[in-house]
Structure 1
Amino acid sequence: MCGRMTMTHPDDAMARLFQAAPSNDLPDVPRYNICPTQAVGVVTSGPRGRRLRPMRWGFVPHWYKTPTDGPLLINARAETIAEKPAFRAAVRERRCLIPATGFYEWTKDADGNRLPWYFVAKGEGPLVFAGIWQDWGQGDDRVTACAIVTTGASDWMAATHHREPVVLAPGDWARWLGETGEKAAPLMRPAPEGFYDRWRVDPTVNSNRAEGEGLTRPIAA
């Protein structure tokens, strides 16, 4: 699962990292509480090379009459992505990279209170999630939207949540983007042991209106 994330790395640094041409309308950074339906920077690949471009976080199947006509699809399960009508064409033809600095997950205490945890790569370099995308609608109603691919959690992650985002190593970016002609299915797996750091953060982040660097600061667990 991945339902909130952060992005603090500058757009120009991300464009260089992915060797992608950046769009002029990328979301402002830093961002410490990116929520579903908001825009995120996404890397796609096409005949003219890679692009770093904004997309709505929340996939919109082609049969929706409006972007809110059905469930909000922010994640796509690796185990069923190739069969689900909403995702099967996209995972074959429109895979993307979704960079982030970190993401949040929640546990509950004995009283049912939601306790947020913040996850980053060790060393706090960028995370690169496997994603899928597609266009929906036409003209002024056109929406370009994406979803993060998730898989069953590793033993370490399962202490917090039973799902985790599929994170891609640099050597796998081209393969996921379809640039090498290799099958991408083997990449849909949990992060290796020791990949993440995590710490408790203040419940202020439970509000989707909260923002600021303080949301990611550690507190006592």
Structure 2
Amino acid sequence: MCGRMAMTVPPEAMAQVFGAAPANSLPEGPNYNICPTNRIAVITGGENRPRQMEAMRWGLIPHWYKKPNDGPLLINARAETVLDKPAFRSAVHTRRALVVASGFYEWTKDAEGGRDPWYITRRDGAPLAFAGLWQSWTDPANEEELRTVAALTIAANTPMQAIHHRMPVIVEQPDFGLWLGEQGKGAAALMRAAGDDILQWHRVDRKVNSNRASGPELIEPWEPDNDS
């Protein structure tokens, strides 16, 4: 599961890391508390199409929805079943993307049932690239087009199971082109859990439990004497 993310640098700077041209109207950054339905930075590309970073709504809207809330909020897609689900079946073949983040959050519960947040990043300090699927949706009321995206998840690797039983599908830099469709077929092989040594994490303050919280302090290591 991936339900909250952070982007600690401006999206335009992140676009350079991925060799992508930044589109107009990218989401403002940094943003330390990116929530579902927010506009997020996504890398698109493909055979004979240059890489571009653009903004998409986090939460894929299937083309048959009459309104964005006509059905479940599809912020994630399970990699194990994505080929069987009507909402994702076409996108996994023709509309793959990279969802870009500096880190993401997961939660555990304490003995009293309180939700303890953890901030998760790559050990090597590189940005995270999640395998994503996108869908263009047109609002029947005004014919306005909206690009929407979901991140793929997979069963967690052994270390990550201490926090959550699911994790995002993380695409490594040499495989960016394959996932985006720049290098022919074979992208299905990338829908797997990351290696055990890829990620690291630390506890952060419970302030991030609120989707209204903001600021760089949200990703700072939590100390017992300043719990909220």
Match of 1:126 in 2: 127
**Deviation string, structure 1 residues 129-172 (Cα, Å, up to 9, x no partner):** 10000100156532110000000001110110000000111000
Match of 1:212 among 211, 215, 226: 215
- Which amino acid is the alignment partner of residue 20 of structure 2? A
RMSD: 1.3
Q: 1:194 aligns with which of 174, 192, 197?
A: 197
Structure 2 letter corresponding to 1:45: G
After superposition, residues 167-178 of structure 1 pair within 5 angstroms as 167-178=170-181
The match for 2:87 is: 86
- Report how far residue 62 of structure 1 moved: 1.0
* Aligned counterparts of 1:114 and 1:15: Cα–Cα separation in 2: 33
Q: How does 1:1-221 map to 2 (within 5 A)?
A: 1-46=1-46, 47-137=48-138, 140-220=143-223
Residue 59 of structure 1 deviates from its aligned partner by: 0.3
Shift of 1:183: 1.4
Letter in 2 for 1:121: R
Task: Provide TM-score, normalisation by structure 2.
Answer: 0.93
What amino acid does structure 2 have at the position aligned with 1:123?
Answer: D
Aligned length: 221
The 8 Å contact of residues 6 and 101 in structure 1, kept in 2 or not, is answered as yes
Task: Output the TM-score relative to the length of structure 1.
Answer: 0.96
**Alpha-carbon separation, structure 1, partners of 2:186 and 2:175:** 11
Taking the aligned partners of 2:137 and 2:60, their CA distance within structure 1 comes to 9
Question: One-letter code of the match for 1:56?
Answer: R
* Aligned-partner Cα distance in 2 for 1:10–1:206: 23
CA contact (8 A) 1:9 1:126 kept: no
Flag structure 2 segments of 5+ consecutive residues without an equivalent: none
Distance 2:194 2:39 in 1: 25
Distance in 2 (CA, whole Å) between partners of 1:10 and 1:114 is 29
